[in-house]
Structures are given as structure tokens and as C-alpha cells.
């Protein structure tokens, strides 16, 4: 063979090795080249025919690449016949091989030879239908027990659990999955042990000094004695009798006090917990039986549905192919003889069923290539232990080798990765060895090639000016700050000569991918989203899907609101509010509001709207109802084409940055519609439902890989790619940004049922008695093992991400920096990645540390930067150049109406210096902004008119509350109250509280979570909750808007309902009263809010309004005030007088500056007329 392709000695050894081998291939080590050369060598040196080599790859793309490399290598060696023969080579994914095997032997496999392979969407549709049928059958067969199960676990959670377990067990080779038999703990020994421990604890407590805790302990022990007596009596007739685990758990002893820390009390606690667990196991056994029946029923119906459709899913391919070879020995032997060589790529991501199948054919000739450190598909049931066990077994026979040399990345990056990951991976880590030759014409890199960007989560981002006034945060503000800081760094790279196409931004999950994309586009950085919800999340796609949704069902509220707000119609925010208000005002008794009727026929709407909005509604009336009436006569593709022609939306898209790509996304949607119609017929509702399922809905944030954006044909797209790390596997880029490292690890503990690989089963026990869910059987140990495995896989995932980088690596994440959190199971990756790259990051990132610099980590230079409010990177529209301002303003026009009939209106985005010397008035007011103006008009002017960002200027060491911010505490409590059912009044469990905290971007302690849950629990026990439960038309988080002279006043009711002719408005307050009277607090701090709420309801034709402020610390003492129609003028006068000062540009400085007014003000010490000492509340001359 020609020496024109150089190979290292380790590569050459792998290529020439005879027989089976497990090859550990480091990232960038050229494993695909090794596989291709081994294939070619077997043909040319051993005389093996091309069709007698089986090569299995992980993806179809990898299979095509391997086949193409083999073909080109044959051509280079002057073997054209063999090059042509590669077209029929057995090079495919495992599923492709199985399908080929089954189609070749359909009769032996017992399968329709014309079977189709279901994609993920098609399989899910059949599975959902099968589950629904199985659940109905369970309820019919098991009656009350099944209904209680469904009520306790909810159908959606049961469906997720059953589908997940079904897939997991099938990946292990079970064709008809069922749950393993439960192994409950024996009750009687645990009961006897508790009885003995109780006596010992009682003796210990009897001699303890009296006190509240001791008194409670004595009560618990006495109650325990009575319970044990009752259990003994019941067990005589029913040996398996077990009390409720919640009832037993309530007998726990208090933990405070030295008197309760003795050996007897500790022994009681241990015995009590063991008995609680045994009781939970006993109660879980019948639940296990129901879940097993549901699993079996689902599996049966799912198989029947596939058989009716003559279809198989991916697991069927593996199971049926395996069974075919297992049951037909002659056939297995024929294939084992046929394939002289069997090669498998990405072996670390194999599952047990796939390995069994491959070993049936290859035996000891199996050549596998992989890397334990790149095993990242555990969620698809891949088992990295298979790789480890096989490597250990083959190493004993000299059949294990490695490729350590990396030809992809710069040596500086590799050495830094070695230093960072060697301690994390331990003995399994093979250091990366630099092997590439550096090019003389390579773009120079200023500074270290590895950078760490840290955003302080607990900084005051709420006052950092990250978002325009009135704009809802698309994600936690610290994540918005991280996205903007990272985008600024990318912009800097591009301005320094990098191509946008050189850069990729990688994230573990796609939920907040749009936040990072928006930050980049705000700086005129072209982007291209690959996978995730990238395509479906594109605004032009969502706009058109909303339009189709309205054609299919004009009373789809979400679709209609989305359409009205889109550039296809272009209604303003105030206009949307007026449409909803008009719909409520015109609704008939007993019927819901009908915005569609108001839009198309209502006479009063136009009078409510501003002139521009009225014009838009009139135009909509001229074409949309007629288009809907004729929609059934047009193809799905034609419906999209017609709306583009009607509105000129396509023309306006082309005017925007990356316009060709945006229009390509529209054309892709039209193509998908055409393909759907060809397969399913002209079914508009069906197409909309399919798109919603694939994209997760117009309001969803599901994090699954789906469609990429449409490529623009004929151009090499020069744009920053955004994708998940999984999508980037096998790819490489000059610059890699690994973002969102502060995201918490996936939640563990939410599974309904867990099945261990050792045959154990665990169940999360839920009951209808209001007690918290409890782990039962082997739920906890299986979960602990799974959590460790997921933590290890997460580390491997980030290793994969970082090894994609050729020239530069930028890591970014948000984390509380004071103190730096301890790395622990389930903690965000930044907690260990930060110190791994910058060992002293905890000290450097502290508020009194060094915010940026370069450190040496075992001789490797790493740059770092800590971002807090006031950083230049966070306010590009304020601090940037004129060019930057143009880029920001051009992006603001994307969401405005466009084209021949649509209306182009730029949003009000005013950088410093815009608008001459006179400050313009704000666009809207709220009670919060009016209160801010009352405290200090000048600060209002700086922040809300000039939009200067707040600064972090509070003196170090000033006393203050540490831990969870008060605003975050309120966000979590409000989110929980928004979800709770006031009728059932079931308190949220600890897991629900934790999820709400994660969504709020918080990482509270267990005590803080308990405190927040306590706020909600106290409210649910209050008379005010009972009022809301019995009221009519209850709505939560209800926005309102009404005109106040020249400006609209906007706000949101926490809850609004009707009690007869009275409107009840409730506002929850999570303030810490610290002994203050609730009534006095409302009068001092929330009188303006009360007036705004009352007037909003009276303006909406309420006859009588009661506004109630409920402090969650004291829900027993709500503060209410009642207003009637005759009170409206006085309320208007109060609010108007406050608003008039803003309208007249009365921006006077505060008369009595105090730290609570001045902390964070951008004018302090510079623009403000007050001396610094007064604003800090310290005597003159004592500031420093």
C-alpha cells in the first residue's frame, strides 16, 4: 500500500492487528482514518471481498463518511473496481444492519417484508394511543385501586414513566417488558426493633429535664406505643398489615436539645426510619402490581398497533434481529462465516442488546473503537460498563490498545484539558498528546487559548438594565447577563478577524438557547441554530404556525394572540390588552370570552384601540375571515404562500440580517406542509398538531433535539453555530464556546418507577392523603447509583464539548461567587469546572477579589473574567459605538409588521444621547415605576428614561441579609401559588418547590426551601384561600392596562375572582415583616398599588372591588380595602397626580437620600447633587 497517507506507530499497530481488538481512541486521534485503512488493508492484503466486511457506525452520517473514505482510498491506490464495490458494502448503523437483515429473511423473522421503520414522532403517536387504551383498561379491570393510582400519579406522569421503563427494559433484551418482582423489607422484625428502641428511648427521656422538646418527645413515644399496640392487634388477623408510612414518620423525635441526643434516642430514630421504610415497601407492593399491569397492557397494545401499521420501531429492529439469529443457528452461522471482519465505531455508546447481537456474528473477531470518556448517551440506554468490562477482559490477552495523539487541537488547549480533567476522571483518563503541525499562516491568538467567564448569580441583575422597560425576562436575569457577556466576547473575536463560521456555541440543553442567540444577534453576529428547538423556535416559523393554527381554530387563544402580536398583523401590546378586555366585556352569560368574534365582528373594539391598531384590525377584517372560509379549498403549501403574498412578510424577511436564511426557514415549512399533505391528505388541523408536537408548542421550552434551521442553498453559511453538545459529537471548530455551565444537573428523584440493572425495582410512593411522596423498595439506592452515573456522564459530556476546539476554548457559566459553592452530586458543572481550570477561582471571583486576569494552572495559562452589573459587555446598546447602536436597533425591527401591507414600526430603543437634550417620557407606567419616581425623580430619569444601568457600589462589609434574595424568594412563592389548586389545597411537595427554585435560577438551601413551602402551606390553611376556592372566574397572573392621561398604566394581578357582584383582587407579599404590622406596612409601601388595582377593576366595569394584600408570613391577617364606582374619580386623581409629574418631566432629586434609595444608582458620586456621605448614610468625612 502507498505511504502517501502517514500513520503514527500506534495507528499502524491498530490497523495491522490480527483478530479482535478494543481500541481506545482519544478525541481527535484519527479513528475514522484507522477504520478506513483497516478496511482497505483487509481487502488488499488479505484478499477479503468488500461485501465480507461489516462496519457499524453510530450515525448514518458517520457511515456515509466511512464509506466515502474507503472509496477514495481505493481510488488513490488504483483500485477502481473495489472503489465501485463499496456502494454495496455493509457499512451502516446498527439499525440499518438490522433492517437489512430482517428484509432479507422476513419469513424466518415472522415480519411483513414491506415493513416500515417508525421515526421518533411516528412511534410516539402509536405509543400514546396504546398507553391511553391501557390506562382505560386498567381502570376498568381494577376499579377504585386503579382510579386512586391515576389520581395520585396523574396520567401524564404515568405515561412518561411507563414509556421510559418500557424502552429501558427493551434495550436490555426484554421483548415483553414487565417489572421485576418487588423485594419488600420484612415488617415484623422492624416492628419488634422499633418497640425495643422505643422502650430504651422512653427510659432516657424520662430522666431528662423538662422542656418543650422533651415534652414533644414524650408525646411522640407515647403515641408510638399506641400505634404499635394497634399494629399488633391488626396483624393478628392480617399478617401483612402496615400503617401508613406518613403516620409512622410523624412519630419522630425533635432533634434540638442535648437531652435528645443520647444513644437511646438515636437508636429510636434509626429503628423508626427502618419501620417507615418497611411500611412504605408494604404499601408500594400493590402499587407495583398496578404499574406492572399497566406496563404489560401498554406493551401488548403498542405491539398490536405496530403490527396493524406493518411497522417497527428502532428497538424492534434490534430485538427481532437478535431473536432471528438466536432461534436460527444455521442463519447465524452463515452470517458469522460471511463476515471475516466486524468493526464497530463509538463502542462506548452500545447497549447490552446491541453487543449481544454483534457477538453472535463476530465472536472473537470483533474490532471495536471508542473512548470511555466520550460516552454520553446514557439517556438512550447506552451502558459504558460494557466498554470497561470488554477492555479489561481483552487487555489480559493483549487485545486492547489506544490512540492518544490528538491531531485536532492546539497543544496549549490539550495541556490545559489534561490538567483539568485528569483529577476528575482518575485512572480511566488517557492524557491527550499533541500531534498536529502548526501552520505559519494561522490566525494569531492574543492571550491564553483557554478562557473562563464567570457571572455572579447573586449580583443585583434586576436593576442592571439588562432588558427594556416592561419586557418580560426570557430566562433568569443572570443567564441573560451571561449570554450578553459571552456574545460580547464573540463579537470581539469577529472584530479581531475571526469568521463567524469559525465559532460554535455549545450547550447541554436547549431550553435557553434562544437567549444566547438573541444576545448574539443584538450585536449583529449572524447565527445558525442546529437541532434542539432551533428551527421550530425561529420567529418566522412560529409566526406562520400561529397563522395556520388560527385558520384551523380561530378560538385557539394562544395561536390567535401569537398571530396578532406577529408582524403578520402587528398589534401593539396595548392593542392586545384591549382585544382581551373587549372580549370579556362582550361575552355572553355562561360562555367564555371570544376574541375572534370581537376582532372580526365586534363594533366597540375599534373605539378602544389607538389609531394604528384600529387600522391593523380593519385590514385584518378585510382578508383573514375570507381566507379562513376558503382554506379547505387550498393546499397547505398554498395557504402559506397566500399569506406571504397578502402581507409581504417574505419581502421584509429579506431586508433583515440573515434574511436569506430566514426566508429559507419559511420555504422549509412550506416543503414540510407539502410532504405532510402527500402522506396524510389535506388535513390542516393534523399538520398544525404535528408541528406543535415536534416543536413543543408555541409556548413550550422542551429540551429535545429536533429540526435544524433550513440551510441556504448555494452559499457557504458564515454564521456562529448554536447547538447541543450531543449534536457536536464528531465535529470540530476553530473556536468553541461552552456556555451555561451554571445550569443545574438534571433532576433526579422525579421518576415514578426505577428498574436497576441487578433486577431490583423501586417506586416513588404517592398517596391521596396529602403526605409527601416517599421512596419505597429499592428506589433510593437505584437513584443514588443513577445520580452518580449521570454526574459522571455530565463530566464526559463537557469533556466532549471542550475537545471540539482547535484554536480557542471559551467556558462560561453563572454561579454564586460568595462563597464559591462546594462541588457535589447534582451541583452545576461550573462548581468543579471553575476550580479545575482556575484553581483559585473562589478567591478571585469573590466581590473583593480580582475580577479578571490570567493565572497559571500547573504551567498552563488560563484567562478568567468575573462579570457583575456595570460591566461594559452587558450594555452594548448604551456603551457601544454608533455602529453597535445601529446593529441593536436593526434587530429591534424584526418583530414589527412588514412589507407591502404590513406596517414597519421600530420599537423605542433609546441609547444615551438619542433624543436631543430633553429626556423623552417613558412608554408606559406601572405602580412600581410611580413608586420609584416618588422615592427619587432623578434616579427614575437616569434609569428609566436614559436607561443607565445600575451599579454595584455598596460598601463592603455593610450588614445585609445573605442567602436567597428577597425578590427570588417572592418569585418562587408566587410560582407555587400560581400552580396550586385552591379547592383541593394540597401543599406542594419538596420536589415541586425545588423545581420552582431552579426555574427561578436559584439554588436555595434546604432550610430556605422549607421556609418557602411553609409560606404556601400557611396560605392554604387560611380563610382567604377558602374565599378564592369558592369564588367564580378565578384568574391568576392576570395582566391589565388602562390609559392614564397620556400614558398607559400596566400591571398584573396575582389573583382576581368574583364573589357575587364584588370583584376580589389578591396580592401576595413575601416580604419579611420582622414584627411590623401588616396594615401599617400596606399603608406605607403599597397604597399606590392598591389604588392602581382598584381603578383597573373599576375601569373594567366592576361594581365593587376589594383589594386584599396577603403577607404570606401572616396569611391570618390579610389587609383589605373596598372601593366602589363612586371612588373611581378619587383614585384617578391620586394616580394622575403621580403620573403628571412624569409627563411634565419633574425629575427632582430625593429630598432625603438614604442607602435604600441610593444604593446602585448610576448617578451616585457623579451626576447626583448630593454628596457621597449623604447617599451612603455616613457622617461627613467618614466615608472611607
According to the annotation, is 139 in a ligand binding site? Answer: no
CB-CB contact of 537 with 529 (8 Å)? yes
List the grid coordinates of 925.
Answer: 407606567
Beta bridge partners of 1039: 1052
Length in residues, the chain: 1184
Q: Which residues contact 602 (CB under 8 A, 6 or more apart)?
A: 582, 583, 586
List the grid coordinates of 867.
Answer: 462579570
CA atoms within 13 A of residue 184's CA, in its CB half-sphere: 24
Q: For residues 203 and 218, what is the distance between their CA atoms, to the nearest angstrom? A: 10
Q: For residues 808 and 451, what is the distance between their CA atoms, to the nearest angstrom? A: 8
Q: For residues 774 and 764, what is the distance between their CA atoms, to the nearest angstrom? A: 6
According to the annotation, is 872 in a ligand binding site? Answer: no
List the grid coordinates of 948.
Answer: 443607565
List the grid coordinates of 339.
Answer: 463476515
Beta bridge partners of 1124: 1104
Q: How far apart are the first and last CA of the chain?
A: 79
Question: DSSP letter string over 412-453?
Answer: HHHHHHHHHHHHHHGGG----EE-PPPPTTSPP--S-SEEEE
- The DSSP letter of residue 746 is P
Burial of 724 (0-12, 13-18, 19+ CB in 10 A): buried
Q: Which residues contact 183 (CB under 8 A, 6 or more apart)?
A: 760, 761, 777, 778
Residue entry with cell 404570606: 1112
Q: For residues 791 and 796, what is the distance between their CA atoms, to the nearest angstrom? A: 9
Q: For residues 455 and 478, what is the distance between their CA atoms, to the nearest angstrom? A: 7
According to the annotation, is 28 in a ligand binding site? Answer: yes
CA distances from 1068 to 980, 1007, 1050, 1052, 1099 (A): 14, 21, 18, 12, 22
Q: Return the axis-axis angle of helices 611-630 and 539-552, rounded to nearest 10°.
A: 60
CA distances from 214 to 251, 258, 622, 737 (A): 13, 10, 78, 57
According to the annotation, is 350 in a ligand binding site? Answer: no
**How many Cβ atoms from other residues are within 10 Å of residue 894's Cβ?**
18
Beta bridge partners of 400: 22
According to the annotation, is 26 in a ligand binding site? Answer: yes
According to the annotation, is 392 in a ligand binding site? Answer: no
According to the annotation, is 297 in a ligand binding site? Answer: no
**How many Cβ atoms from other residues are within 10 Å of residue 900's Cβ?**
12
CB-CB contact of 37 with 16 (8 Å)? no
Of 797, 793, 807, 799, residue with least CA distance to 736: 807
Question: DSSP letter string over 845-864?
Answer: TSTTS-SEEEEEETTEEEEE
Q: For residues 203 and 201, what is the distance between their CA atoms, to the nearest angstrom? A: 5
H or E segment at 642? helix 636-647
CB-CB contact of 293 with 70 (8 Å)? no
According to the annotation, is 31 in a ligand binding site? Answer: yes
- The DSSP letter of residue 925 is B
Q: For residues 468 and 470, what is the distance between their CA atoms, to the nearest angstrom? A: 6
Question: Dihedral sign, CA of 163, 166, 171, 172?
Answer: positive
Beta bridge partners of 805: 733
Q: Each residue of 622-660: b (16+ CB within 10 Å) or e?
A: eebeebbeebeebebbebbbebbebbbbbbbbeebbbee
Q: For residues 665 and 659, what is the distance between their CA atoms, to the nearest angstrom? A: 10
Residue 1032: phi and psi, rounded to 5, are -105, 160
3-state per-residue secondary structure call for 790-855: HHHHHHHHHHHHHCCEEEEEEEEEEECCCCCCCCCCCCCCHHHHHHHHCCCHHHHCCCCCCCEEEE
- Annotated binding-site residues read 25-32
List residues forming the annotated binding site for ATP.
25-32
Amino acid at each position: 500500500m502507498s505511504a502517501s497517507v502517514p500513520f503514527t506507530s500506534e495507528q499502524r499497530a491498530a490497523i495491522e492487528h490480527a483478530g479482535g481488538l478494543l481500541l481506545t481512541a482519544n478525541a481527535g486521534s484519527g479513528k475514522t482514518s484507522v477504520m478506513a485503512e483497516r478496511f482497505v488493508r483487509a481487502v488488499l492484503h488479505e484478499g477479503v471481498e468488500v461485501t465480507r466486511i461489516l462496519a457499524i457506525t453510530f450515525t448514518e452520517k458517520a457511515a456515509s463518511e466511512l464509506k466515502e473514505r474507503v472509496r477514495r482510498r481505493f481510488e488513490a491506490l488504483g483500485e477502481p473496481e473495489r472503489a465501485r464495490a463499496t456502494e454495496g458494502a455493509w457499512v451502516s448503523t446498527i439499525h440499518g444492519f438490522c433492517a437489512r437483515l430482517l428484509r432479507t429473511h422476513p419469513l424466518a423473522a415472522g415480519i411483513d417484508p414491506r415493513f416500515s421503520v417508525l421515526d421518533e414522532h411516528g412511534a410516539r403517536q402509536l405509543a400514546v394511543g396504546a398507553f391511553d387504551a391501557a390506562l382505560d383498561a386498567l381502570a376498568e379491570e381494577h376499579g377504585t385501586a386503579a382510579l386512586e393510582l391515576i389520581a395520585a400519579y396523574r396520567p401524564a406522569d404515568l405515561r412518561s414513566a411507563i414509556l421510559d421503563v418500557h424502552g429501558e427494559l427493551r434495550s436490555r433484551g426484554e421483548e415483553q417488558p414487565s417489572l421485576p418482582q418487588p423485594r419488600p423489607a420484612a415488617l415484623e422484625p422492624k416492628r419488634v426493633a422499633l418497640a425495643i428502641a422505643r422502650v430504651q428511648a422512653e427510659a432516657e427521656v424520662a430522666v431528662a429535664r423538662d422542656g418543650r422538646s422533651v415534652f414533644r418527645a414524650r408525646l411522640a413515644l407515647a403515641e408510638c406505643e399506641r400505634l404499635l399496640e394497634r399494629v399488633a392487634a391488626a396483624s393478628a388477623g392480617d399478617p401483612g398489615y402496615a400503617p401508613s408510612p406518613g403516620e409512622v414518620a410523624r412519630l419522630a423525635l425533635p432533634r434540638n436539645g442535648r437531652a435528645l441526643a443520647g444513644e437511646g434516642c438515636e437508636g429510636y430514630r434509626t429503628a423508626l426510619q427502618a419501620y417507615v421504610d418497611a411500611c412504605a415497601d408494604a404499601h408500594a407492593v400493590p402499587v407495583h402490581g398496578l404499574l406492572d399491569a399497566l406496563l404489560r397492557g401498554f406493551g401488548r397494545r403498542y405491539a398490536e398497533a405496530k403490527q396493524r401499521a406493518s411497522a417497527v420501531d428502532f428497538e424492534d429492529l434490534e430485538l427481532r434481529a437478535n431473536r432471528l439469529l438466536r432461534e436460527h443457528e444455521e442463519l447465524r452461522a452463515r452470517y458469522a462465516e460471511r463476515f471475516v471482519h466486524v468493526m464497530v465505531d463509538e463502542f462506548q455508546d452500545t447497549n447490552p442488546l446491541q453487543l449481544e447481537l454483534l457477538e453472535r456474528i463476530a465472536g472473537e473477531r470483533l474490532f471495536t473503537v471508542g473512548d470511555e470518556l466520550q460516552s454520553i448517551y446514557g439517556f438512550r440506554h447506552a451502558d459504558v460498563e460494557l466498554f470497561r468490562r470488554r477492555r479489561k477482559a481483552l487487555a489480559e490477552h493483549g487485545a486492547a490498545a489506544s490512540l492518544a495523539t490528538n491531531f485536532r487541537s492546539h497543544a496549549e488547549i490539550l495541556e490545559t484539558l489534561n490538567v483539568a480533567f485528569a483529577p476528575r476522571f482518575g485512572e480511566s483518563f488517557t492524557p491527550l498528546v499533541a500531534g498536529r503541525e502548526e501552520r505559519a499562516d494561522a490566525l494569531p491568538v492574543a492571550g491564553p487559548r483557554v478562557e473562563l467567564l464567570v457571572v455572579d448569580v447573586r449580583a443585583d441583575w434586576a436593576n442592571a438594565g439588562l432588558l427594556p422597560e416592561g419586557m418580560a425576562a426570557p430566562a433568569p436575569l443572570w443567564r441573560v447577563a451571561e449570554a450578553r457577556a459571552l456574545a460580547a466576547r464573540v463579537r470581539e473575536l469577529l472584530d479581531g478577524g475571526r469568521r463567524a463560521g469559525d465559532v460554535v456555541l455549545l450547550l447541554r440543553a436547549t431550553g435557553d438557547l434562544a437567549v444566547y442567540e438573541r444576545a448574539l444577534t443584538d450585536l449583529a453576529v449572524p447565527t445558525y441554530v442546529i437541532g434542539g428547538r432551533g428551527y421550530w423556535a425561529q420567529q418566522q416559523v412560529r409566526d406562520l404556525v400561529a397563522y395556520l393554527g388560527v385558520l384551523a381554530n380561530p378560538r385557539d387563544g394562544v395561536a390567535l394572540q401569537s398571530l396578532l402580536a406577529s408582524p403578520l398583523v402587528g398589534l401593539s401590546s396595548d392593542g392586545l390588552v384591549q382585544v382581551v378586555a373587549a372580549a370579556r366585556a362582550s361575552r355572553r352569560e355562561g360562555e367564555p370570552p371570544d376574541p375572534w368574534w370581537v376582532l372580526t365582528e365586534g363594533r366597540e373594539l375599534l373605539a378602544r384601540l389607538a389609531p394604528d391598531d384600529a387600522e391593523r384590525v380593519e385590514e385584518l377584517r378585510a382578508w383573514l375571515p375570507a381566507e379562513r372560509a376558503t382554506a379547505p379549498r387550498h393546499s397547505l403549501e398554498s395557504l402559506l404562500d397566500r399569506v406571504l403574498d397578502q402581507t409581504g412578510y417574505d419581502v421584509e424577511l429579506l431586508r433583515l440580517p440573515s434574511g436569506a436564511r430566514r426566508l429559507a426557514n419559511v420555504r422549509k415549512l412550506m416543503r414540510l406542509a407539502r410532504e405532510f399533505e402527500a402522506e396524510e391528505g389535506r388535513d390542516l388541523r393534523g399538520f398544525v398538531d404535528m408541528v406543535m408536537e415536534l416543536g413543543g408548542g408555541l409556548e413550550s421550552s422542551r429540551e429535545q433535539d429536533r429540526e435544524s434551521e433550513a440551510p441556504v442553498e448555494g452559499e457557504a453559511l458564515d454564521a456562529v453555530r448554536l447547538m447541543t453538545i450531543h449534536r457536536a459529537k464528531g465535529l470540530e471548530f476553530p473556536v468553541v464556546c461552552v456556555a451555561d455551565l451554571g445550569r443545574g444537573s438534571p433532576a433526579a428523584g422525579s421518576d415514578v418507577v426505577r428498574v436497576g440493572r441487578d433486577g431490583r425495582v423501586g417506586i416513588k410512593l404517592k398517596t391521596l392523603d396529602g403526605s409527601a411522596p416517599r421512596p419505597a423498595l429499592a428506589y433510593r439506592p437505584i437513584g443514588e447509583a443513577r445520580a452518580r452515573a449521570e454526574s459522571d456522564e455530565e463530566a464526559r459530556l463537557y469533556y466532549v464539548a471542550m475537545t471540539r476546539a482547535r484554536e480557542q476554548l471559551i467556558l462560561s457559566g453563572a454561579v454564586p461567587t460568595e462563597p464559591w459553592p462546594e462541588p457535589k452530586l447534582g451541583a452545576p458543572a461550573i462548581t468543579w469546572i471553575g476550580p479545575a481550570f482556575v484553581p483559585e477561582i473562589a478567591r478571585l471571583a469573590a466581590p473583593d477579589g480580582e475580577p479578571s486576569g490570567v493565572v497559571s494552572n500547573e504551567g498552563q495559562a488560563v484567562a478568567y473574567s468575573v462579570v457583575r452589573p456595570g460591566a461594559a459587555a452587558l450594555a452594548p446598546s448604551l456603551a457601544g459605538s454608533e455602529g453597535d447602536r445601529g446593529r441593536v436597533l436593526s434587530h429591534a425591527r424584526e418583530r414589527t409588521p412588514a412589507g407591502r401591507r404590513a406596517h414597519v414600526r421600530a420599537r423605542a430603543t433609546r441609547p444615551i444621547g438619542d433624543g436631543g437634550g430633553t429626556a423623552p417620557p417613558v412608554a408606559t407606567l406601572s405602580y412600581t415605576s410611580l413608586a420609584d419616581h416618588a422615592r427619587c425623580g432623578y434616579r427614575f430619569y437616569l434609569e428609566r428614561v436614559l436607561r443607565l444601568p445600575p451599579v454595584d457600589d455598596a460598601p463592603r462589609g455593610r450588614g445585609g441579609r445573605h442567602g436567597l434574595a428577597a425578590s427570588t424568594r417572592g418569585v418562587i412563592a408566587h410560582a407555587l401559588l400560581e400552580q396550586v389548586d385552591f379547592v383541593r389545597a394540597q401543599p406542594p411537595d419538596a420536589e415541586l418547590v425545588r423545581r420552582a427554585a431552579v426555574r427561578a435560577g436559584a439554588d436555595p438551601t434546604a432550610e430556605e426551601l422549607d421556609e418557602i413551602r411553609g409560606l404556601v402551606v400557611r396560605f392554604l390553611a387560611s380563610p382567604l384561600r377558602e374565599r378564592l376556592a369558592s369564588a367564580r372566574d378565578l384568574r391568576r397572573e392576570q395582566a391589565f392596562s388602562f390609559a392614564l392621561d397620556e400614558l398607559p398604566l400596566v400591571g398584573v394581578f396575582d389573583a382576581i375572582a368574583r364573589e357575587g357582584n364584588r370583584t376580589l383582587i389578591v396580592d401576595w407579599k413575601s416580604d419579611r415583616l420582622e414584627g411590623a404590622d401588616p396594615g401599617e406596612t400596606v399603608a406605607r409601601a403599597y397604597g399606590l398599588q392598591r389604588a392602581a388595582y382598584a381603578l383597573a377593576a373599576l375601569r373594567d366595569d366592576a361594581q365593587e372591588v376589594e383589594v386584599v394584600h396577603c403577607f404570606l408570613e401572616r396569611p391570618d391577617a390579610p389587609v383589605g380595602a373596598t372601593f366602589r364606582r363612586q371612588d373611581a374619580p378619587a383614585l384617578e386623581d391620586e394616580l394622575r397626580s403621580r403620573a403628571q409629574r412624569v409627563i411634565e418631566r419633574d425629575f427632582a432629586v430625593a429630598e432625603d437620600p438614604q442607602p435604600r434609595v441610593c444604593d446602585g444608582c448610576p448617578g451616585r458620586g457623579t451626576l447626583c447633587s448630593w454628596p457621597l456621605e449623604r447617599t451612603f448614610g455616613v457622617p461627613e468625612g467618614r466615608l472611607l
